[in-house]
Amino acid sequence: MASGIGLVFPGQGSQSVGMGKSLCEAHPAIKQVYEEASAVLGYDSAALCFEGPAERLNLTEYTQPALLVSSIAALKTLESAGIQPIAVAGHSLGEYSALVAVGGVSFRDAVGLVQKRGRYMSEAVAPGTGLVAALLGLTPDVVKDVCREASVVGVVAAANFNSPGQVVIAGEKAAVERAIELAKEKGCKKAIPLPVSVPVHTPLMQRAADRLATDLAAIRWSDLRAPLINNAEARAISRANEIHASLVKQLPSSVLWEDTVRTMGTMGVTTFVEVGPGAVLTGLIKRILPEARLMNVNDPKSLEATLNNVNR
């Protein structure tokens, strides 16, 4: 086993029609992952991931299981090559993939949980009333001040502290729009509205978190084979009894991704492998730890490159 490897798992926004298809064709054994997921979900998971349609794949309730399944299918190809991490993390939804990767929860249970998580999130806020935007060029403290000032209009909060100079805010539409105006006054280089209508990682998700807590309590959790750096606190957790509270706290709390990556670095992670669709996290980590070795696994070519590099 190569030392210093950390696995990271993507969240919502990394999905695309066709994800995982070429990897599944090259490694037929991972079809079992899609079949097991389909039995839980009640629909053909592989067909949705490979063929879409995009309109359905982009609905939160369908996006979340699809990303989990695609990530775990990619993980299986790494595991079959003997790759084991010294630490793991996932961005928002990706935290569930990370927990599966280190034995904290069964894949079957995780699929059912993220399906419910997506549904609860969608139902927590009326369609069209939320807004999410990325702010570039401001410090975390300035973004917090902007959100505090804009909160007189409605709920708005810093949802993701992604990398130096990139913070995502979310909340009620009018409040987010006001925060964007204030951010520009304070020197924000760019404000980018994101195609996400559910203002996750804000207090608006507390209702969803309360509903999810009941489902989380019914799951059998296990101690982790390697520590997970959690979203809500950027803290290493390894014990089964820590997982439930961490996941409940995650939904209405900010994702501390920059701090999470830095924590993994202090734990000895020198190689980060993004497991699953896209390369969003790879791009963020490059800005957080420029010296880190970065790889991803989402198709046969990237898998081969990763295996060649980690075994050097």
What is the Cα–Cα distance from 298 to 274, expressed in whole angstroms? 8
Place of tokens 């999410």: 132
Nearest CA to 200 out of 210, 189, 209, 192 is that of 209
The residue type found at 173 is K
Contacts of 126 (CB under 8 A, 6+ apart): none
What is the Cα–Cα distance from 14 to 161, expressed in whole angstroms? 17
CA 205 from centre of chain: 16
What is the Cα–Cα distance from 202 to 130, expressed in whole angstroms? 11
Catalytic residues: 92, 201
Paired residues of 170 in beta bridges? 132, 157
CB 65 within 8 A of CB 118: yes
CB 67 within 8 A of CB 94: yes
CB 231 within 8 A of CB 260: yes
Gyration radius of the chain over CA positions: 19
- DSSP class of residue 71 equals H
What is the Cα–Cα distance from 150 to 210, expressed in whole angstroms? 26
3-state secondary structure of 235: coil
What residue ranges in 75-115 does DSSP mark as E strands?
A: 87-90
CA count, 13 A, side-chain hemisphere, 194: 23
